[in-house]
């Protein structure tokens, strides 16, 4: 390559000041996208996942009867107000979370398989290998439709040292979302950082011209570094090359976001104030704040895919807010000790109360011809059913929201043994307009969800 | 298969002696012959080894149960086992240690064990060092130094590198997502990924950092932050104490926290007060402490402040605040607000030290509202009298919370430090001739990329500056943009070790070039870029001279920047990073507060740092007779004569309970549950971090301890012993639990105790090999008795950290050499570091195997 001092980058550096004055990428207040502005178009469907760790006390979860008019069990009770907006789905499996010859490590596998349907490779380090998760499949297909193709939120700091579970890398327990089998998407756990990611940090006190100039420089810098990287890649071995490919992907992703932001000059004012730095001290407050951000993201249509990890798989969180000072994970190995089971049940109930908060917020937010909840599909669940025995079958799964009228809600459905949970995901992707052949171990679409 | 099932049944049914009669004793003779042909090897395997496995091991280590992730059933031929070095080493280790078969199982005959261990030893001696890789076949003798994947700077490294490159200490990486860790550390090249989220943060950080370096700190609007801390319970003390901490820092009435201050500037610290003082008390004092030094003290008179309570009855502090305003530098600081001389100035009736000289206020005249019935008036009078008669505790005044406002009066303009790091040419105040531009950029990029830069790389960066200038921006604006580009470049963000192109097709290992070596050194010891001296040594090509290398390493260890090794390596090796997030049960451990947490962490840091700086023996980690304490921790450890919040080195008495890491509250706390100790966790901690033989993970559906019973129905020891009657559990727990029992005198936050609930502590333990000991010091002497095991454990951890990759069988020879040399150098810390730095895996690299 011949490089001279006069050479200009691929995207010509300056098109003359003032011609392309786009909003800087990190500019405050994100635009809704042009297609929303087309009047009378149906509101888009959003997809979300909420994960809770360490299984559920299933006897207090599963409703006794099938079909409509089922009785809400003790744990599900807080959701009763949303009976007509949700489905309880029983007997779905995540078979790939089982050992399958790999020995211990059920927590890591439960987390890693929940959204992927893939049995992850047992390794504590170098060669992590999982599967592509359903949210990321949707995100990849929806790229360009919204500013962010997906948003990953978490409510437990992943500050961990060493193996996270029996020789499994922490990557498996930290991230539910996987963009590629080697690339986990760790959730953002800091509410303020999540807010800034959505709505920017740029100093609005700067004059627009300066902001525009800086945005332009950013673009040329990205041009320059990606060209540098491309020439670097040629001299590298496969492992190093993989690292540089990751780098290049990320640069392109940022460039794409900038381009998206340029397409739409409108501004939205967030309805939530910028959170304080740091993480709220009380767990319920923390989760609610993350839920608020999720609602905000859907409301302003900056993304249509959100994954919320309420707790990492294997979580040892204590819940002093509800008088539980024992760590969660050891409690779930209760060996049928009734006191411990009671404590786990209370933790399970607290999580459901918080999920009910999220549903309530979605239901009270108007969106197009209905509410956000009407236009959403939220899967709530855990990759383990019985935390004591580490079972990966007959998982606790809820599906909330009406999917823009495409879901026939209000029932408790149960499936025949061996139905993979990934079948549910296939059906949901379909409703997002993403027609996928299969996900992980899926065997086909789930019936009975149709409102038709 | 039939035979195996039969044996399984027999083993389960028969007693020890009964089974021993059946054990094969064939094959021993042939195993004694010095050299074996392959045919003989196979014969011994068939006659002695495999039957031994079948009789003693298959019961657990079979294809279905896979106990400890291991099946021996799969090794059907001598060749199949002979290729698996790791498994052979594992079996040999277990048999030699007497750890297998587990204690509850029938013992095999000694000569049968010998037959197997001899066969294994011989196989290991003759088998190739690692699985044959075609590319290596040509030179089997060469140690394989392994391949290190390009390493992205992790968060700590990013912050440190930015600080050393540009003199900017913004801690921008606080906003980055958590780095994943592998092999116990968060600097492993293969594991560190780069998501779009991180790239976005890099972009943002690069802009902020470059502008800060060139123009100074961006104006920050002062903000108010509430430092939320769990309030501590203050047990009522009715009579004043005379012997107590006069600074008040150790009392629960004080508040402690750490905070990362964004910039140098003035900050307002507002303390919210609480509690009550008896009427007639003298004003209290309130003191602000920063990093263990008292920086301001003010007098506060609750009787004079507005209150809903009548000061002639009691002085209520609730809702009152006291503000301090002070200059604080950017970075992490330890803030505390305390009430000194808490028990002084109380009314004379309290009989406390230095009683109040103020007159006792006259009782308020009882004036009932006019429209009450006589009965109501009487009730009111009684209430008032009761209220007056009630005596307030002597220690109720306290600091409830802190708010932080600022920054104010921020220094404007770039720091001298940044200027001198950036402007290699021309005046610091910004008049630069055109000729300087290239020099400045070259100097900066040379340091940012940690290697010589090619002229065309400099040209690309200078053309960026020219573009900005053509656009009407200043030179500084352009330079900031160029720096921003450098900070985003893969050459800055990654440590890439590249084989020269012509070597790419050759599999041979090659020595690192000088700059790659300098980077490995500085990121190992400093978690940061090479400084000018190291870079200059690399530029001159002198780092391959052993004397130069050694001098550089020793210099770097003495430099304060080696604190990074303590913080990043030590924090992860000893897992004391977890201390930040532990939450001991507040009801059981009311004394665990922020001050204690911070003090615990500081003790271990200072202890490690002392070993590094003073180049002491690494065996100090096991049983040093000294540590570093402040008053809070000394009080907690029951060590007399340590006053004040500053830490100092303290020698333990000969009969002290504590010494080495295992006596430090930090380690004892992170290896416990929130509400109780765990001999299992502690034993595991010792095996993992001091002995280097981590136990395999537990099988699923293991029964847990019945916690409700501990301390009431049965002791922890009894519970665990019951647990060990299960042979599968026993195989690991006989190794873990005794180690943990030795530490049972320390409770779940590391305080000394002699009873757990109702039961006296029994801190004795017997190891699988029969050695027994009593108490923590006994455990320490056992550990000290095998110094090379500890040295190897530490060497392996350091090597993983230094290389940023997991160890492979090919590294074993290097580890053995390092350990041997450390032993001959009195186990000095620097000899360990030098051993690693001079080792093949550190000095060389190999190209990846093509796939």
Interval A182-200: pLDDT, tens: 888 989 888 888 887 777 6
Q: How far is B689 from chain A (nearest CA, A)?
A: 11
Closest alpha carbon to B454 in A231, A92, A292, A216: A231
What SS3 class is residue B535? helix
Distance CA B159, CA B518 (A): 19
CATH number at residue B334: 2.60.120
Distance CA A52, CA A315 (A): 9
| Domain presence at residue B373 | no
* Contact assignment for B583 to A3 by CB distance below 8 Å: no
Q: A173-195 burial string, b = 16+ CB within 10 Å, else e? A: bbbbbbbbebbbbbbbbbbbbbb
Instruction: Give helix B514-525 / helix B546-558 axis angle, nearest 10°.
Output: 30
Confidence band of A148 (pLDDT split at 50, 70, 90): confident
- For the stretch A114-136, pLDDT in tens is 999 999 998 876 688 999 999 99
Distance CA B292, CA B143 (A): 51
Q: Look at residue B100 and tell me whether its pLDDT is greater than 90.
A: no
Contacts of B147 in chain A (CB under 8 A): 237, 239
pLDDT at B851: 37
How far does Cα B371 stand from its chain's mean position? 69
Distance CA A159, CA A145 (A): 33
β-pairing, B772-774 vs B764-766, is: antiparallel
Instruction: Kindly state whether residues B288 and B244 are assigned to the same domain.
Output: yes
Question: Which residues are CB-contacts of A143 (< 8 A; sequence separation ≥ 6)?
Answer: A149, A256
- For the stretch B695-725, pLDDT in tens is 876 665 555 555 555 555 667 777 777 777 7
Please, are residues B847 and B499 in contact by the beta-carbon 8 Å criterion? yes
Q: Look up the domain containing B835 and give its range.
A: 788-845
Distance CA B250, CA B811 (A): 49
Tally of domains in chain B: 6
Please, are residues B487 and B480 in contact by the beta-carbon 8 Å criterion? no
CB contact B581 to A (< 8 Å): yes
Q: A76-89 burial string, b = 16+ CB within 10 Å, else e? A: bebbeebbebbbbb
Q: If you measure CA to CA, which chain A residue comes closest to B198?
A: A250
Name the most confidently modeled range: A147-156, A160-169, B599-608.
Answer: B599-608
Closest alpha carbon to B420 in B165, B169, B205: B165
The model's pTM: 0.69
Closest alpha carbon to A446 in A129, A93, A79: A93
Instruction: Kindly state whether residues B770 and B828 are assigned to the same domain.
Output: no
* Contact assignment for B805 to A124 by CB distance below 8 Å: no
Strand order in the sheet with B331-338: B255-261, B331-338, B284-290, B293-300
Using a 10 angstrom Cβ sphere, with 0-12 exposed, 13-18 middle and 19 or more buried, the burial of residue A141 is middle
CB contact B455 to A (< 8 Å): no
Contacts of B182 in chain A (CB under 8 A): 124-126, 169-170
Q: If you measure CA to CA, which chain A residue comes closest to B700?
A: A104
Q: Look at residue A181 and tell me whether its pLDDT is greater than 50.
A: yes
Q: How far is B196 from chain A (nearest CA, A)?
A: 4
- For the stretch A210-239, pLDDT in tens is 778 888 898 899 999 998 888 888 778 777
Per domain, the residue ranges of chain A are: 42-189+279-431
Q: How far is A319 from chain B (nearest CA, A)?
A: 11
pLDDT at A32: 38
Contacts of B218 in chain A (CB under 8 A): 203
| Domain presence at residue B135 | no
Closest alpha carbon to B763 in B663, B639, B619: B663
Instruction: Kindly state whether residues B116 and B194 are assigned to the same domain.
Output: no
Confidence band of B21 (pLDDT split at 50, 70, 90): very low
- For the stretch B257-288, pLDDT in tens is 888 888 888 998 988 888 999 988 999 999 99
Compute and round to an integer the Cα radius of gyration of chain A. Answer: 23
| Domain presence at residue B170 | yes
Residue B726 or B640, more confident: B640
Confidence band of B516 (pLDDT split at 50, 70, 90): very high
- Can you read off the two tokens belonging to residue B623? 């049983």
Stretch (H or E) spanning B822: helix B812-824
* Contact assignment for A240 to B706 by CB distance below 8 Å: no
| Domain presence at residue B139 | no
The DSSP symbol for B341 reads T
Distance CA A384, CA A390 (A): 6
What's the whole-number mean pLDDT along residues B117-141? 55
Closest alpha carbon to B723 in B712, B711, B734, B710: B734
Confidence band of B750 (pLDDT split at 50, 70, 90): very high
Regarding an ipTM greater than 0.85, the answer is no
Stretch (H or E) spanning B274: strand B265-274
Q: B331-340 burial string, b = 16+ CB within 10 Å, else e? A: eeebbbbbbb
Across-strand partners of B216? Answer: B413
Interface residue of B151, B195, B451, B705 to substitute, partner A, most A CBs within 10 Å: B195
3-state secondary structure chain A: CCCCCCCCCCCCCCCCCCCCCCCCCCCCCCCCCHHHHCCCCCCCCEEEEEECCCCCCHHHCCCCCCECCCCCCCCCHHHHHHHHHEEEEEEEECHHHCCCCCCCCHHHHHHHHHCCCCCCCCCCCCCCCCCCCHHHHHHHHHECCECCCCEEEECCCCCCCCCCECCECHHHHHCCCEEECCEECCCECCHHHHHHHHHCCCCCCCCHHHHHHHHHHHHHHHHHHHHHHHHHHCCCCHHHHHHHHHHHHHHHHHHHHHHHHHHCCCCCCCCCCCCCCCCCCCHHHHHHHHHHHHHHHHHCCCCCEEEEECCCCCCCCCEHHHCECCCHHHHHCCCCCHHHHHHHHHHHHHHHHHHHHHHHHHHCCEECCEECCCCEEEEEECCCCCCCCCCCCCEEEEEECCHHHCECCCCEEEEEEEEEHHHHHHHHHHHCCCCCCCCCCCCCCCCCCECC
Closest alpha carbon to B647 in B639, B655, B658: B639
- For the stretch B612-669, pLDDT in tens is 999 999 999 999 999 999 999 999 999 999 988 889 999 999 889 998 999 999 999 9
- For the stretch B141-150, pLDDT in tens is 345 677 778 8
Q: Look at residue B500 and tell me whether its pLDDT is greater than 80.
A: no
Report the residue from A165, A193, A240 with minimal CB separation from B496: A240
- Can you read off the two tokens belonging to residue A364? 């009270």
β-pairing, A305-309 vs A151-154, is: parallel
What proportion of chain A, given as a percentage, has pLDDT over 70? 83
Instruction: Kindly state whether residues B707 and B647 are assigned to the same domain.
Output: yes
Distance CA B607, CA B662 (A): 12
Instruction: Kindly state whether residues B404 and B421 are assigned to the same domain.
Output: no
Q: Look at residue B110 and tell me whether its pLDDT is greater than 70.
A: yes
Instruction: Kindly state whether residues B168 and B288 are assigned to the same domain.
Output: no
pLDDT at B57: 87
Residue with tokens 């006019």, as numbered in its chain: B370
Contacts of B156 in chain A (CB under 8 A): none
Please tell me the least confidently modeled range out of A41-45, A377-381, B563-567, B795-799.
A41-45
CB contact B749 to A (< 8 Å): no
Read out DSSP for B709-736?
GBTTTB-HHHHHHHHTTSHHHHHHHHHH
Confidence band of A179 (pLDDT split at 50, 70, 90): very high
Instruction: Kindly state whether residues B676 and B764 are assigned to the same domain.
Output: yes
Instruction: Kindly state whether residues B452 and B327 are assigned to the same domain.
Output: no
Distance CA B226, CA B235 (A): 25
Please, are residues A147 and A261 in contact by the beta-carbon 8 Å criterion? yes
Distance CA B127, CA B130 (A): 8
Residue B128 or B733, more confident: B733
Q: A242-279 burial string, b = 16+ CB within 10 Å, else e? A: bbbbbbbbbbebbbbbbebbbebeeebebeeeebeeeb
Instruction: Kindly state whether residues B625 and B742 are assigned to the same domain.
Output: yes
CA B658, B662, B668, B670 torsion-angle sign: positive
Q: Look at residue A275 and tell me whether its pLDDT is greater than 80.
A: no
Confidence band of B611 (pLDDT split at 50, 70, 90): very high
Task: Name the average pLDDT for chain B.
Answer: 84
What SS3 class is residue B760? strand
- For the stretch A302-341, pLDDT in tens is 899 999 999 999 887 888 889 887 778 888 988 888 999 9
Half-sphere exposure of residue A239: CA atoms within 13 angstroms, side-chain side: 24
Confidence band of B140 (pLDDT split at 50, 70, 90): very low
- For the stretch B419-459, pLDDT in tens is 899 998 876 665 667 788 999 999 999 999 999 999 999 99
Report the residue from A105, A247, A390 with minimal CB separation from B490: A247
Phi then psi for residue A50, to 5 deg, are -125, 125
Instruction: Kindly state whether residues B256 and B350 are assigned to the same domain.
Output: yes
Q: Look at residue B13 and tell me whether its pLDDT is greater than 50.
A: no
| Domain presence at residue B198 | yes
> Quick one: CATH architecture of A42-189+279-431?
3-Layer(aba) Sandwich (3.40)
Closest alpha carbon to A22 in A224, A199, A216: A216
Contacts of B197 in chain A (CB under 8 A): 185-186, 188, 197
CA distances from A218 to A25, A448, B98, B208 (A): 9, 50, 64, 12
Closest alpha carbon to A376 in A435, A431, A424: A431
Instruction: Kindly state whether residues B396 and B258 are assigned to the same domain.
Output: yes
| Domain presence at residue B140 | no
Q: A402-417 burial string, b = 16+ CB within 10 Å, else e? A: bbbbbbebbbbbbbee
- Can you read off the two tokens belonging to residue B50? 């495999």
Stretch (H or E) spanning B801: helix B787-803
CA distances from B172 to B219, B262, B581, B718 (A): 16, 10, 22, 51
- For the stretch B586-606, pLDDT in tens is 888 988 988 899 999 999 999
* Contact assignment for B149 to A179 by CB distance below 8 Å: no
Instruction: Kindly state whether residues B334 and B246 are assigned to the same domain.
Output: yes
């Amino acid at each position: 390559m011949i490089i001279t001092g006069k050479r200009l980058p691929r995207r010509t550096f300056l098109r003359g000041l003032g011609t392309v004055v786009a909003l800087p990428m990190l500019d405050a207040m994100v635009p809704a996208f042009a297609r929303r502005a087309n009047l009378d178009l149906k509101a888009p469907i959003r997809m979300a996942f909420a994960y809770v760790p360490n299984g559920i006390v299933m006897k207090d979860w599963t409703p006794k009867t099938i079909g409509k008019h089922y009785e809400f069990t003790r744990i599900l009770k807080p959701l009763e107000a949303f009976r007509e907006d949700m489905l309880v789905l029983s007997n779905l499996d995540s078979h790939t979370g089982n050992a399958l010859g790999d020995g211990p490590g059920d927590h890591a596998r439960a987390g890693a398989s929940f959204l992927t349907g893939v049995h992850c490779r047992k390794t504590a380090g170098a060669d992590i290998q999982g599967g592509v998760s359903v949210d990321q499949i949707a995100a990849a297909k929806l790229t360009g439709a919204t500013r962010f193709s997906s948003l990953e939120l978490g409510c437990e700091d992943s500050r961990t040292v060493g193996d996270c579970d029996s020789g499994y890398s922490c990557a498996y327990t930290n991230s539910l979302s996987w963009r590629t089998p080697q690339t986990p998407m760790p959730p953002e756990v800091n509410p303020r950082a999540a807010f800034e990611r959505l709505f920017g940090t740029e100093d609005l006190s700067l004059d627009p011209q300066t902001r525009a100039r800086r945005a332009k420089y950013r673009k040329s810098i990205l041009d320059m570094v990606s060209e540098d990287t491309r020439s670097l890649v040629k001299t590298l071995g496969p492992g190093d090359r993989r690292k540089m490919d990751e780098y290049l992907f990320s640069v392109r992703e940022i460039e794409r976001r900038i381009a998206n932001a340029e397409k739409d000059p409108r501004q939205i004012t967030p309805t939530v104030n910028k959170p304080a730095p740091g993480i709220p001290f009380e767990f319920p407050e923390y989760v609610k704040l993350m839920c608020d951000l999720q609602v905000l993201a859907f409301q302003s249509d900056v993304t249509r895919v959100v994954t919320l990890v309420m707790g990492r798989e294997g979580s040892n969180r204590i819940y002093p807010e509800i008088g539980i000072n024992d760590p969660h994970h050891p409690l779930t190995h209760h060996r049928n000790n009734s006191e411990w089971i009671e404590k786990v049940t209370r933790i399970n109930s607290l999580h459901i109360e918080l999920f009910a908060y999220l549903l309530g917020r979605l239901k009270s937010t108007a969106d197009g011809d209905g509410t956000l909840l009407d236009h959403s599909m939220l899967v709530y669940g855990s990759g383990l059913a019985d935390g004591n025995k580490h079972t990966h079958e007959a998982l606790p799964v809820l599906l909330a929201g009406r999917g823009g009228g495409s879901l026939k809600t209000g029932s408790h459905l149960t499936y025949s043994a061996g139905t993979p949970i990934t079948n549910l995901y296939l059906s949901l992707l379909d409703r997002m307009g993403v027609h996928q052949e299969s996900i992980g171990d899926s065997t086909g679409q789930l019936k009975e969800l149709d409102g038709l | 298969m039939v035979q195996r099932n039969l044996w399984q049944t027999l083993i389960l049914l028969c007693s020890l002696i009964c089974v021993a009669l059946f054990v094969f004793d064939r094959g021993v003779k042939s195993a004694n012959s010095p050299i074996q042909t392959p045919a003989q090897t196979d014969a011994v395997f068939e006659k002695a080894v495999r039957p031994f496995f079948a009789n003693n091991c298959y019961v657990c280590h079979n294809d279905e149960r896979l106990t400890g992730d291991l099946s021996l059933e799969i090794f059907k031929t001598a060749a199949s086992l002979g290729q698996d070095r790791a498994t052979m080493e594992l079996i040999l280790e277990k048999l030699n240690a007497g750890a297998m078969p587990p204690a509850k199982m029938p013992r095999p005959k000694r000569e049968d064990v010998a037959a197997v261990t001899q066969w294994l030893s011989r196989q290991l001696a003759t088998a190739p060092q690692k699985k044959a890789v075609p590319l290596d076949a040509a030179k089997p003798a060469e140690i394989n130094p392994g391949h290190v994947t390009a390493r992205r700077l992790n968060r700590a490294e990013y912050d440190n590198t930015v600080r050393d490159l540009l003199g900017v200490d913004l801690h921008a990486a606080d906003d980055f997502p958590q780095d994943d860790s592998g092999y116990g550390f968060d600097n492993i090249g293969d594991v560190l990924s780069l998501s779009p989220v991180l790239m976005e943060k890099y972009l943002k950080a690069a802009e902020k950092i470059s502008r800060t370096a060139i123009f100074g700190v961006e104006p920050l609007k002062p903000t108010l932050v509430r430092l939320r801390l769990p309030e501590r319970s203050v047990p009522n003390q009715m009579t004043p104490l005379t012997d107590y901490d006069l600074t008040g820092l150790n009392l629960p009435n004080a508040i402690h926290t750490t905070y990362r201050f964004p910039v140098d500037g003035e900050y307002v610290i507002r303390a919210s007060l609480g509690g009550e003082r008896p009427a007639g008390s003298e004003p209290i004092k309130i003191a602000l402490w920063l990093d263990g030094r008292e920086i301001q003290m003010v007098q506060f008179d609750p009787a004079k402040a507005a209150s809903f309570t009548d000061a002639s009855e009691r002085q209520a502090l609730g809702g009152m605040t006291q503000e301090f305003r002070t200059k604080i530098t950017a970075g992490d600081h330890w803030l505390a607000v305390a009430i000194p001389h808490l028990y002084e100035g109380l009314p004379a009736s309290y009989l406390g030290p230095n009683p109040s000289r103020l007159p006792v206020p006259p009782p308020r005249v009882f004036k009932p509202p006019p429209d009450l019935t006589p009965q109501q008036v009487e009730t009111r009078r009684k209430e008032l009298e009761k209220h007056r008669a009630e005596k307030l505790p002597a220690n109720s005044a306290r600091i409830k919370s802190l708010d932080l406002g600022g920054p104010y009066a921020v220094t404007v303009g770039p720091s001298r430090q940044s200027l001198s790091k950036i402007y290699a040419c021309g005046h610091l105040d910004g008049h630069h001739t055109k000729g300087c531009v290239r020099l400045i950029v070259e100097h900066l990029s040379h340091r940012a990329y940690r290697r010589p830069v090619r002229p065309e790389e400099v040209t690309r960066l200078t053309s960026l500056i020219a573009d900005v200038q053509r656009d009407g921006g200043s030179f500084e604006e352009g330079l900031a943009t160029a720096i921003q580009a450098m900070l985003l470049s893969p050459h800055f963000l990654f440590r890439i070790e590249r084989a020269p192109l012509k070597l790419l097709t050759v599999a041979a290992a090659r020595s690192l070039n000088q700059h790659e070596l300098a980077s490995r050194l500085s990121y190992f010891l400093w978690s940061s870029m090479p400084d000018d001296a190291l870079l200059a040594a690399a530029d001159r090509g002198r780092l391959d001279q052993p004397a130069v290398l050694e001098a550089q390493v020793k210099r770097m260890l003495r430099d304060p920047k080696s604190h990074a090794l303590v913080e990043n390596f030590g924090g992860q090796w000893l897992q004391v990073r977890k201390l930040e997030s532990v939450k001991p049960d507040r009801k059981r451990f009311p004394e665990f507060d922020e001050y204690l947490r911070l003090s615990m962490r500081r003790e271990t840091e200072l202890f490690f740092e002392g070993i590094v700086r003073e180049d002491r023996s690494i065996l100090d980690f096991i049983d040093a007779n000294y540590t570093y304490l402040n008053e809070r921790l000394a009080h907690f450890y029951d060590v007399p004569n340590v006053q004040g919040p500053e830490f100092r080195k303290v020698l333990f008495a000969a009969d002290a309970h504590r010494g080495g890491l295992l006596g430090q509250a930090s380690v004892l706390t992170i290896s416990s549950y929130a509400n109780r100790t765990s001999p299992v966790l502690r034993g595991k901690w010792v095996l993992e971090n001091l002995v280097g033989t981590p136990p395999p993970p537990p099988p699923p559906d293991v029964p847990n301890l019945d916690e409700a019973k501990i301390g009431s129905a049965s002791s922890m020891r009894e519970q665990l012993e019951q647990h060990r009657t299960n042979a599968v559990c026993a195989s690991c727990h006989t190794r873990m639990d005794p180690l943990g029992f030795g530490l049972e005198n320390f409770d779940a936050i590391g305080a000394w105790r002699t009873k757990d609930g109702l039961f006296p502590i029994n801190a004795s333990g017997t190891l699988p090999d029969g050695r027994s000991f009593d108490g923590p010091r006994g455990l320490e002497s056992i550990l000290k008795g095998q110094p090379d095991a500890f040295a190897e454990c530490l060497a392996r951890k350091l090597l993983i950290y230094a290389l940023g990759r997991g160890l492979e069988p090919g590294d074993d020879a290097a580890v053995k050499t390092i350990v041997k040399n450390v032993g001959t150098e009195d186990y000095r810390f620097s000899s360990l570091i030098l051993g690693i730095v001079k080792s093949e895996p550190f000095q060389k690299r190999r190209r990846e195997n093509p796939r």
